[in-house]
């Protein structure tokens, strides 16, 4: 794999001084963060380090942080207290990267209370990590490598994947939406899309290496190339395919169609789209592309038009429900998953009831629920009508009960049907049981055999349980 030039220089320098070093990367965040962690692992392995799960044995410990939720901060500071002893006893190099490092108050807190941290870097300087690591080793000094402006998208970084069947591929970075509760646009910067040729090449490479499922990642995937199109309305990027055919790609809808043609890839997922940008061409692509899964993650956040306005989500309850209906009408058997925030400032009982109402109407397959947490630097943090913690928890529990009821009810429709399941491996708790996922991301457990791993197989669903389905495999 081609390694970008400056990285190459420092990776070679580290290799010369590294004596069988070990590393650990701890990820605290979303799938984009996990994808970044795979690149951090890639840089370390190219530099001659091998992975360990035992922090006491690691020469380098990297925390890849996320600033979206408050408990990620608590987790980081808690874990730092734990690794301090490794620094003192073994001289372990302690590194913190990720978007939390774009927050000045966090970096100041680190300097004051955790002076043993050796390197901090932000998402815009991740590609310089080998240089920072080398300088930290040879000069034994503290390094702060953070840029306030967004960096370019860097191609050709080494990557060590955590999985051999499913892989994530970032297609863009940053966000232009400024939802009032969200810190992402401030720390990840404005939207920048990768060139479709680079995405095509990466997925092609994954397919050749046996990967079956690809998840396309971005903060707002259906704005792929939208900013670039605004700057150049004639934008039409040409992708040269492996068979020599040239295809023009200028939107997310066309990217889906392109990725769908790659042999070997059997499933395509994407997260997250924004409801306000869910255009008809994307719906048509999902309908037409056989590999794009029949599950759309469509973040609702709140079912109340008033709260959605305060969140700056730019859609109403009715528009969201109309979009769901439009998608359902065009794509038979389509299912949805979603994100909900409970207790946003100003949320009344009536607003909360609106959220419950949307959940009942849509009937989601999965619901990711969060209690609103204040993030320094966001508009919502300055709102005066913050909700009492007790009320937030009480609503969260009601939401959870309803969500579980709806999911359990929804699971019943699978019993007696035959589902295509991508087999991911053996169950962690039972040697005879294998586990996989349906197109709609439901876990299916069944008695199988090793040679099914990595294959999409038909399984008859015998029974349903809250968090999984039980399948039967016929030889």
Pick from 25, 175, 268, 444: which binds ligand SF4 (CB under 6 A)? 175
* Six token digits for residue 184: 């992402």
324: contact with ligand SF4 by CB under 6 A: no
Q: Find the part of the chain contacting ligand SF4 (CB under 6 A) among 178-186, 200-208, 314-322, 329-337.
A: 178-186
Number of residues interacting with ligand SF4: please give it, by CB under 6 A.
10
184: contact with ligand SF4 by CB under 6 A: yes
Looking at beta carbons only, is 379 or 391 nearer to ligand SF4? 379
Looking at beta carbons only, is 45 or 277 nearer to ligand SF4? 277
Bridging pattern class, strands 213-217 and 166-170: parallel
Shortest reach from residue 411's CB to ligand SF4, in Å: 29
**Length, in residues, of the chain:** 475
CA distance 360 to 362: 6
107: contact with ligand SF4 by CB under 6 A: no
**First vs last C-alpha separation in the chain:** 40
178: contact with ligand SF4 by CB under 6 A: yes
Q: Map the footprint of ligand SF4 across residues 433-472, applying CB under 6 A.
A: none
220: contact with ligand SF4 by CB under 6 A: yes
CA distance 414 to 408: 11
Nearest to residue 301, comparing CAs of 322, 272, 326? Answer: 272
Shortest reach from residue 301's CB to ligand SF4, in Å: 8
219: contact with ligand SF4 by CB under 6 A: yes
Specify whether the CB–CB gap between 46 and 12 falls below 8 A. no
Shortest reach from residue 278's CB to ligand SF4, in Å: 12
- Long-range interactions of 81-89: CB distance < 8 A, separation 24+: 82/55, 83/55, 84/114, 84/116, 86/55, 86/56, 86/58, 86/61, 87/116, 88/116
Looking at beta carbons only, is 132 or 191 nearer to ligand SF4? 191
Alpha helices in 49-161 (DSSP H): 70-90, 104-113, 129-139
Percent of the chain as helix, strand, coil, to the nearest 5:
40, 20, 35
457: β partners: 421
Shortest reach from residue 190's CB to ligand SF4, in Å: 10
Shortest reach from residue 339's CB to ligand SF4, in Å: 9
CA distance 401 to 234: 50
Shortest reach from residue 341's CB to ligand SF4, in Å: 9
Q: Find the part of the chain contacting ligand SF4 (CB under 6 A) among 7-15, 69-77, 180-188, 411-419.
A: 180-188
CA distance 344 to 313: 13
Looking at beta carbons only, is 119 or 182 nearer to ligand SF4? 182
Looking at beta carbons only, is 86 or 372 nearer to ligand SF4? 372
Looking at beta carbons only, is 220 or 337 nearer to ligand SF4? 220
Nearest to residue 10, comparing CAs of 123, 157, 144, 118? Answer: 157
CA distance 197 to 237: 8
282: contact with ligand SF4 by CB under 6 A: no
Collapsing DSSP states into helix, strand and coil, what is residue 53? coil
Shortest reach from residue 347's CB to ligand SF4, in Å: 17
Q: Find the part of the chain contacting ligand SF4 (CB under 6 A) among 85-93, 158-166, 175-183, 251-259.
A: 175-183
Shortest reach from residue 387's CB to ligand SF4, in Å: 19
179: contact with ligand SF4 by CB under 6 A: yes
Which residue carries 């395919």 as its tokens? 241
Which residue carries 């500071």 as its tokens? 77
67: contact with ligand SF4 by CB under 6 A: no
Which residue carries 């305060």 as its tokens? 310
Looking at beta carbons only, is 68 or 83 nearer to ligand SF4? 68
Instruction: Give the torsion through C-alpha atoms of 361, 363, 368, 371, to 10 deg.
Output: 30
Bridging pattern class, strands 50-51 and 119-121: unpaired
Specify whether the CB–CB gap between 14 and 130 falls below 8 A. yes
Pick from 97, 122, 185, 454: which binds ligand SF4 (CB under 6 A)? 185
CA distance 205 to 214: 12
Pick from 177, 261, 316, 441: which binds ligand SF4 (CB under 6 A)? 177
Which helix (H) or strand (E) segment holds residue 261: the answer is none
Looking at beta carbons only, is 179 or 367 nearer to ligand SF4? 179
227: contact with ligand SF4 by CB under 6 A: no
Shortest reach from residue 314's CB to ligand SF4, in Å: 10
Specify whether the CB–CB gap between 202 and 167 falls below 8 A. no
Collapsing DSSP states into helix, strand and coil, what is residue 447? strand
Q: Find the part of the chain contacting ligand SF4 (CB under 6 A) among 179-187, 329-337, 356-364, 376-384.
A: 179-187
368: contact with ligand SF4 by CB under 6 A: no
72: contact with ligand SF4 by CB under 6 A: no
Pick from 124, 254, 274, 395: which binds ligand SF4 (CB under 6 A)? 274
> Binding residues for ligand SF4, per CB under 6 A?
175, 177-179, 182, 184-185, 219-220, 274
């Amino acid at each position: 794999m081609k390694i970008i030039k400056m990285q190459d220089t420092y990776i070679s320098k580290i290799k010369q001084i590294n004596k069988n070093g070990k590393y650990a990367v701890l990820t605290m965040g979303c799938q984009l963060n996990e994808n970044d962690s795979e690149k951090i692992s890639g840089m370390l392995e190219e530099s001659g380090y091998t992975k360990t799960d035992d922090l006491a044995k690691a020469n380098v410990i990297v925390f890849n942080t996320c600033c979206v939720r408050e408990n990620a901060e608590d987790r980081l500071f808690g874990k730092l207290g734990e690794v301090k002893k490794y620094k003192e006893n073994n001289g372990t190099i302690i590194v913190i990267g990720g978007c939390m490092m774009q927050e000045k108050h966090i970096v100041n807190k680190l300097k004051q209370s955790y002076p043993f941290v050796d390197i901090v870097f932000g998402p815009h300087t991740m590609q310089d990590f080998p240089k920072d690591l080398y300088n930290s080793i040879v000069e034994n000094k503290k390094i702060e490598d953070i840029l306030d402006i967004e960096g370019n998208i860097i191609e050709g970084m080494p990557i060590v994947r955590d999985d051999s069947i499913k892989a994530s591929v970032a297609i863009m970075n940053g966000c232009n939406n400024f939802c009032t509760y969200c810190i992402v646009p401030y720390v990840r910067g404005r939207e920048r899309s990768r060139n479709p040729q680079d995405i095509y090449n990466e997925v092609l490479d994954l397919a050749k290496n046996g990967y079956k499922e690809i998840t396309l990642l971005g903060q707002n995937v259906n704005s792929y190339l939208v900013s670039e199109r605004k700057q150049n309305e004639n934008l039409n990027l040409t992708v040269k395919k492996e068979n020599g055919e040239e295809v023009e790609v200028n939107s997310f809808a066309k990217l889906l169609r392109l990725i769908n043609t790659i042999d070997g890839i059997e499933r395509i997922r994407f997260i997250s789209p924004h409801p306000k940008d869910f255009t008809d061409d994307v719906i048509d692509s999902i309908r037409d592309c056989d590999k794009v899964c029949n599950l759309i993650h469509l973040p609702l956040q709140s079912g109340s038009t008033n709260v959605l306005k305060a969140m700056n989500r730019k859609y109403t309850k009715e528009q969201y429900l109309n979009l769901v209906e439009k998608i359902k009408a065009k794509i038979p058997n389509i299912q949805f998953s979603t994100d909900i925030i409970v207790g946003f400032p100003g949320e009344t009982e009536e607003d909360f009831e609106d959220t419950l109402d949307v959940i009942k109407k849509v009937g989601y397959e999965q619901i990711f629920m969060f209690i609103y947490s204040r993030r320094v630097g966001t508009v919502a943090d300055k709102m005066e009508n913050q909700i009492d913690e007790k009320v937030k928890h009480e609503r969260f529990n009601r939401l959870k009960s309803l969500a579980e009821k709806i999911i359990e009810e929804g699971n019943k429709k699978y019993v007696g049907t035959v589902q295509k399941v991508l087999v991911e491996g053996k169950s962690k708790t039972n040697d005879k049981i294998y586990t996989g996922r349906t197109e709609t991301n439901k876990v299916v457990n069944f008695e199988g055999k090793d040679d099914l791993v990595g294959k999409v197989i038909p399984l008859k669903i015998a029974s349903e349980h809250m968090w999984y389905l039980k399948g039967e495999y016929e030889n």
